[in-house]
Structure 1
Amino acid sequence: MTADQLIIFLSGIGGGALRVGVPFLFVSLGECLTEKSGRINLGLEGVLVLSAMTAFGASYLSGSPWVGVMAGAGAGALLATLHGLLCSLPRVNDIATGIALMLLGMGLAFYLGKPLIQPQAPQLPALSLGGWSDSPAVRSALEVNALLPLGLFMAVLLWWAFANTRLGLLVRLAGDSANATRALGYSVSGIRIAATAAGGFIAGLGGASLTLFYPGSWNEGISSGQGLIAVALVIFARWSPLRCVGAALLFGGAGAIGPALQSVGIGWGYHLFNIVPYVLTLLILVLTCRPGVVVPGSPGELSSTR
């Protein structure tokens, strides 16, 4: 590999991490907020797919990608709110409900999105980070999603809110001890429903980025399991919004290895490198989720020892 090819390869990895990592970032931040309140939302895969379809459809019909972004976020919030409401009922299991709503969200998206497979919707603008290079390949590799700054801002905002605001404290309290929350006169169900809805809204932004930037089209395999991977990603990030940024970039970079190799003319093993994010997910779960061991940073209500 020549020096120019190495620069193109590294730019492809870096740009790919920023491009591919954006959906991971939004979905992991949404799940982080949800789990901080003491609830798990395995329905995020359905949220991601439904919001991706809704964003694409709204952008196509309205002619504005930003209308699509808001529509996708709204669809994610609605499905997540349904999850929060159902989980607040007596004797309803979070895991089973999440799986059911994942299937519901994916089914609705596949059914309603059939007319959207062929059309092309207006796309989000790209932010160019490669102006320093004379190479068209490098400049192209370093074009990133316009939603990336919003994701970074949300990560900092959530980190600050959890540590410094009354609402953040209430979310953490509900996640650590439902009994203490009730003893102080607050509604555990209300806090968790609100946190789950807000988490769905944030995850919906990730769905919008899939169809309105990269890969920039609607099809039934658009998410590739990113909603489920986000659950492992949150564990890896130890329920910290700032660490979610690093984890999302790691997973994004892992997913960009194959395309980066192709950009320098190396086609061997392309499909093999596509499985790297899934291998990372398995490694994280094996290394962190052991019976009887509480993962550092885990909300008390989600502890494996409870």
Structure 2
Amino acid sequence: MNDALSTVLLAVFAGAIRVSTPFLFVSLGECLTEKSGRINLGLEGILVFGAMTGYAISYHSGSPWIGVLAAGVAGSLFGAFHGWVCKLPRVNDVAIGIAMMLFGTGLAFFFGKPYIQPTAPRLPALELGFWSDVPQVREALKINPLFFAGLAVAIVLWWAFRNTRWGLIVRMTGDSSATARAMGYSVDWVRFLATTVGGFLAGVGGAFLSLYYPGSWTEGLSSGQGLMAVALVIFARWNPLACFAAAVLFGGAGAIGPALQSVGISQGYHFFNAAPYILTLLIMILSISPKRSLRGAPAELSLMK
């Protein structure tokens, strides 16, 4: 019994880190975007297109890290396009985000068909369990460097929002565009840059999906993680460090099903696999009351108006 419990806990721990990494990058990108006063529902399309781009470039270049960079650049281009369109008169950023989601996924499926079968070089893992003789521990402590990179980005964003002029400008633009204009800052330019950088982070999250876990390119790779990241940001109250904790929580929820199956528990497997979606639904239900659950949201967001 103790052995089975320890196996499940190790599997949930390892799975939480693997599954949370794409959530982390997409949620940090969305957190930055929303802090500037814009919501980007197109991150799902960016995530999928980034996964395809990263896999294709890794296959042709032989370097998965070049694939990650290419995925980030592709994501930033999508983010920049979203930011440019949204600054046009009488354009709704939510509607444009949905259109970009469909455009990104459709474009990824179209250009990604030749890469479904070929095998691209995958990202390596850090062997942090080298000190242990237990195979389960060694396997659980195989952690991809992108997880630590995501943690570093969360810390930097949290610090920058509180302590830098750049962070103050982004927050001011998200809270009061009139104040930002009165201070001489271009609201459109700030939001354009925030959306572009947010797209870059989402693209990197997509590269993790195709180049590490699950580690292949298929059309059903994302499973809605880009959209769930929006709920994650709301749950985290627009705090980058809380986004990290929430991403790990989502990742742990997604790892429960495979962890139980690893010890032979298959009853209710599909229910446990649906845990991240159930958690997302619960968060959105709890977020209906603006006075309670949306406290701390940037005032310029479309969902606050």
TM range (shorter): over 0.9
C-alpha distance in structure 2 between counterparts of 1:82 and 1:230, whole Å: 20
Corresponding residue number in structure 2 for 1:158: 157
1:179 aligns with 2:153: no
Identity, % of aligned pairs? 64
1:136 aligns with 2:135: yes
Does the aligned pair in 2 maintain the 1:293–1:305 contact within 8 Å? no
C-alpha distance in structure 1 between counterparts of 2:59 and 2:190, whole Å: 35
Does the aligned pair in 2 maintain the 1:294–1:305 contact within 8 Å? no
1:19 aligns with 2:18: yes
Corresponding residue number in structure 1 for 2:204: 205
C-alpha distance in structure 2 between counterparts of 1:300 and 1:231, whole Å: 16
Corresponding residue number in structure 1 for 2:100: 101
1:254 aligns with 2:253: yes
Alignment of 1:3-42 (within 5 A): 3-42=2-41
Alignment of 1:184-199 (within 5 A): 184-199=183-198
In structure 2, the CA distance between the partners of 1:291 and 1:32, relative to structure 1 (3 Å rule), is closer
C-alpha distance in structure 1 between counterparts of 2:260 and 2:172, whole Å: 46
Could you state the TM-score of these two structures normalised by the residue count of structure 1? 0.97
In structure 2, the CA distance between the partners of 1:304 and 1:107, relative to structure 1 (3 Å rule), is closer
Q: What is the deviation of 1:231?
A: 0.2
Does the aligned pair in 2 maintain the 1:31–1:41 contact within 8 Å? yes
Corresponding residue number in structure 2 for 1:216: 215
C-alpha distance in structure 1 between counterparts of 2:236 and 2:302, whole Å: 16
Does the aligned pair in 1 maintain the 2:48–2:206 contact within 8 Å? yes
Does the aligned pair in 2 maintain the 1:27–1:44 contact within 8 Å? yes
C-alpha distance in structure 2 between counterparts of 1:274 and 1:130, whole Å: 27
**Which AA in structure 2 matches 1:179?**
A
1:68 aligns with 2:67: yes
In structure 2, the CA distance between the partners of 1:210 and 1:12, relative to structure 1 (3 Å rule), is same
Could you tell me which runs of 5 or more consecutive residues in structure 1 were left unpaired when the two chains were aligned. none
C-alpha distance in structure 2 between counterparts of 1:304 and 1:66, whole Å: 36
Corresponding residue number in structure 1 for 2:264: 265
Q: What is the deviation of 1:292?
A: 6.5
Does the aligned pair in 1 maintain the 2:38–2:302 contact within 8 Å? no
**Deviation digits for residues 120-151 of structure 1, max 9, x if unmatched?**
11011112333354332332233222211100
**Deviation digits for residues 4-37 of structure 1, max 9, x if unmatched?**
1111110000111111000000000000000000
C-alpha distance in structure 2 between counterparts of 1:304 and 1:208, whole Å: 29
Q: What is the deviation of 1:303?
A: 7.0
In structure 2, the CA distance between the partners of 1:47 and 1:231, relative to structure 1 (3 Å rule), is same
Does the aligned pair in 1 maintain the 2:39–2:302 contact within 8 Å? no
Does the aligned pair in 1 maintain the 2:71–2:206 contact within 8 Å? yes
**Deviation digits for residues 82-140 of structure 1, max 9, x if unmatched?**
00000000000001100001011001100000000001110111123333543323322
1:55 aligns with 2:76: no
Could you state the TM-score of these two structures normalised by the residue count of structure 2? 0.97
Q: What is the deviation of 1:57?
A: 0.3
C-alpha distance in structure 2 between counterparts of 1:58 and 1:297, whole Å: 40
C-alpha distance in structure 2 between counterparts of 1:252 and 1:8, whole Å: 17
Does the aligned pair in 2 maintain the 1:291–1:304 contact within 8 Å? no
C-alpha distance in structure 1 between counterparts of 2:284 and 2:88, whole Å: 29
**Which AA in structure 1 matches 2:9?**
L
Does the aligned pair in 1 maintain the 2:130–2:138 contact within 8 Å? yes
**Which AA in structure 1 matches 2:33?**
T
**Which AA in structure 1 matches 2:155?**
V
**Which AA in structure 1 matches 2:29?**
G
Q: What is the deviation of 1:300?
A: 1.1
Does the aligned pair in 1 maintain the 2:58–2:64 contact within 8 Å? yes
Q: What is the deviation of 1:209?
A: 0.5
Q: What is the deviation of 1:293?
A: 5.7
**Alignment: residue pair count:** 305
Measured on the aligned residues, the alpha-carbon RMSD in Å equals 1.3
Q: What is the deviation of 1:304?
A: 5.0
Could you tell me which runs of 5 or more consecutive residues in structure 2 were left unpaired when the two chains were aligned. none
